[in-house]
């Protein structure tokens, strides 16, 4: 990434547990940055992650968010060092508080409620809460050879923080039971077969491929349309087909009243790139 590719206000403190880079293309890259701990969830990572995501969501210049990891892991799960403070405390009054401190004040599903697309570039090991977080992203790419595991059953834990909701929706019922009950390790290539990731690419090609995909989305897709589509997808998962169709009809009428619709149609007929306005603030 060259200096000309990013905005001048980019946060680049190498000691920060999460890095934030905003490119001129409208793509914000959020990087988990605890490579010495395989980007394990702990050590202040959660709070820094929330701040970066909130920044991207609030900034009208950001149209698409890319989440990745620094080093050889995407996120290897909960930091076992932090878990040591919890082990043996299951019967103590403070156990729940300790777990909450590790995970942070938000559960992974909060990214499904964002108005902007979130794309995961899974550069390496993706386990436990790291896998849950990746699954809550809207689209996922993986580096060839990256290892995946739910891991929970092999640690004496249950399916944590929404993975029992999202995984069956991504891979189906039977495959979810296999991955959750066995806690087995599988690789990016199988993850592609299961539908967990869209594409598997060589490690050194991962970020260029993901950025090209994200930048195409930022350039050609209306932010207002993407925001509504995300709300439809995740909201409709809890509705029946009649509710879904009725709601979609209402949303379609609303979308046709926005200038984005006129711009999208006009650009199509004029064979040019559309110029969509940024998201408006929610009232």
pTM (2 d.p.): 0.82
Q: Measured between alpha carbons, how far is 200 from 47 in angstroms, rounded to an integer?
A: 30
207, containing H or E segment: helix 206-220
CATH number at residue 134: 3.90.226.10
In which band, very low, low, confident or very high, does the pLDDT at 7 lie, cut at 50, 70 and 90? Answer: very low
Strand partners, 139: 119
Same domain, 172 and 208: yes
Lowest mean pLDDT among 52-66, 112-126, 169-183, 231-245: 231-245
pLDDT at residue 84 greater than cutoff 50 = no
Q: Is 67 among the domain residues?
A: yes
- Rounded Cα–Cα distance for residues 89 and 67 (Å): 33
Note the pLDDT of residue 154: 81
The answer to whether position 108 is within a domain reads yes
With beta carbons less than 8 A apart as the criterion, state whether 87 and 81 touch: no
Of 54-58, 169-173, 272-276, the one with minimum mean pLDDT is: 272-276
Whether 181 and 242 share a structural domain: no
- Please give the average per-residue pLDDT across 156-181, as a whole number: 90
H or E element, residue 211: helix 206-220
Provide the pLDDT confidence category of residue 92 given band limits of 50, 70 and 90.
Answer: very low
Using CA atoms, how far apart are residues 7 and 159, in angstroms rounded to an integer? 40
**Does 4 reside within a domain?**
no
Range of weakest confidence among 2-11, 154-163, 171-180, 243-252:
2-11
- C-alpha of 187 from chain center: 19
The larger pLDDT score, comparing residue 227 to residue 264, is at 227
How far is CA 18 from each of CA 7, 14, 56, 75, 77, rounded to the nearest angstrom?
17, 9, 13, 12, 15
Q: Is residue 9 situated within a structural domain?
A: no
Please tell me the predicted confidence (pLDDT) of residue 5.
45
**Does some domain include residue 281?**
no
Element of type H or E holding 241: helix 241-255
Of 278, 275, 259, 271, nearest to 220 by C-alpha is 275
Q: Are residues 152 and 241 in the same domain?
A: no
Is residue 159 included in any domain, yes or no? yes
Predicted confidence (pLDDT) at residue 246 exceeds the cutoff of 80: no
| More confident of the two residues 138 and 162 | 138
Residues 115 and 23 in one domain: yes
Shared domain for 166 and 196, answered yes or no, is yes
Q: What is the pLDDT of residues 186-236, one digit of tens each?
A: 999 999 999 999 999 999 999 999 999 999 999 999 999 999 999 999 888
Confidence of residue 243 (pLDDT cuts 50, 70, 90): low
Question: For residue 281, is pLDDT > 90?
Answer: no
Which tokens in the block code for residue 58?
């609030």
Same-domain status, 235 and 193: no
Q: What is the DSSP secondary-structure string of 103-130? A: H-SS-GGGGGG-SS-EEEEE-SEEETHH
Give how many domains the chain has, as a whole number. 2
Shared-domain flag, residues 197 and 255: no
Give the three-class secondary structure for 133: helix
Is the same domain home to 195 and 233?
no
pLDDT (average), residues 10-21: 79
55 shares its domain with 156: yes
Same domain, 232 and 213: no
Output the pLDDT for position 38: 92
Domain housing 229: 221-270
pLDDT band for position 6 (50/70/90)? very low
Residue-averaged pLDDT of the chain:
84
In this prediction, residues 20-34 reach a mean pLDDT of 96
Of 105, 102, 108, the C-alpha closest to 86 is: 102
Share of the chain above pLDDT 70, in %: 81
pLDDT given for residue 262 in this prediction: 78
Structure tokens at 27: 């793509």
Average pLDDT value for residue range 68-86: 77
Residue 89: inside a domain = no
66-95 mean pLDDT: 67
The answer to whether residue 283 is domain-embedded is no
């Amino acid at each position: 990434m060259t200096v000309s590719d990013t905005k001048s206000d980019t946060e680049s403190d190498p000691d920060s547990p999460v890095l934030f880079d905003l490119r001129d293309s409208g793509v914000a890259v959020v990087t988990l940055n605890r490579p010495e701990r395989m980007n394990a969830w702990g050590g202040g990572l959660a709070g820094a992650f929330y701040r970066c995501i909130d920044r991207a969501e609030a900034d009208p210049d950001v149209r698409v968010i890319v989440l990745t990891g620094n080093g050889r892991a995407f996120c290897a799960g909960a930091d076992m060092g932090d878990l040591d403070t919890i082990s043996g405390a299951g019967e103590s009054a403070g156990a729940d508080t300790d777990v909450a401190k590790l995970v942070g004040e938000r559960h992974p599903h909060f990214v499904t409620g964002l108005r902007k697309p979130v794309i995961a570039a899974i550069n390496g090991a993706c386990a436990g809460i790291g896998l849950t977080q990746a699954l809550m992203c809207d689209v996922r790419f993986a580096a060839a050879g990256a290892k995946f595991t739910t891991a929970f059953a092999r640690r004496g834990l249950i399916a944590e923080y929404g993975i029992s909701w999202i995984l069956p929706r991504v891979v189906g019922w039977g495959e979810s039971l296999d991955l959750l009950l066995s806690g087995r390790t599988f690789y990016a290539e199988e993850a592609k077969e299961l539908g967990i990731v869209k594409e598997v690419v060589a490690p050194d090609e991962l970020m260029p491929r993901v950025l090209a995909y994200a930048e195409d989305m930022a350039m050609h897709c209306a932010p207002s349309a993407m925001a509504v589509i995300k709300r439809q997808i995740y909201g409709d998962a809890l509705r029946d087909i009649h509710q879904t169709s009725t709601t979609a009809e209402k949303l379609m009428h609303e979308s046709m009243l926005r200038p984005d619709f006129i711009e999208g149609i006009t650009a199509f007929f004029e064979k040019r790139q559309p110029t969509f306005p940024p998201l408006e603030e929610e009232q």
